[in-house]
Amino acid sequence: MANQNFIDKVVLLSIKDRKVLMARSLGKDKFYMPGGKREEGETDLQTLIRESKEEMDIDVIVETAKHWDTFIAQAHGKSEGVMVKAVCYTADFEGIPKASNEIEEVLYLGFDRRDDAGGVAQTILDDLKEKNMID
């Protein structure tokens, strides 16, 4: 049985010009790494491919997908104790990321915009900054 205080997500980590690809959902105030919740029976890669297409209209090149790391943090806007587990993958993709479906905005953010990111995205940004991968 799934833990109701735990949100399982698979996200795409894409860095360009030392900034991170981020998305903001319609009506939301915070950015997050593009991706989403796994559907019943989906693997990480199936979730990554589906969510990348749905949210940004890009096609993940499966052979390039590599697990980067997994991060856990308090879920933004949820009750205390509701946690997000973000399984991060790097991957090449075809297409230019653009807002699609429930996404209002897609852009590359630097660490200077950390406060514009949601909980687990901030944790990921902190890690990338510590590893000198973003500015």
Query: What is the tens place of the pLDDT at every residue in 101-131?
Result: 899 999 999 999 999 999 899 999 999 999 9
| Full DSSP string of 19-70 | EEEEEEETT-S-BB-SEEEPPTT--HHHHHHHHHHHHH--EE-GGG-EEEEE
Per-residue pLDDT band for 77 (boundaries 50, 70, 90) equals: confident
Average pLDDT along the chain: 94
CA–centroid distance for 4 within its chain: 20
Please give the structure tokens belonging to residue 87: 């399984």
Q: In 3D, which of 34, 27, 64 has the Cα closest to residue 50?
A: 34
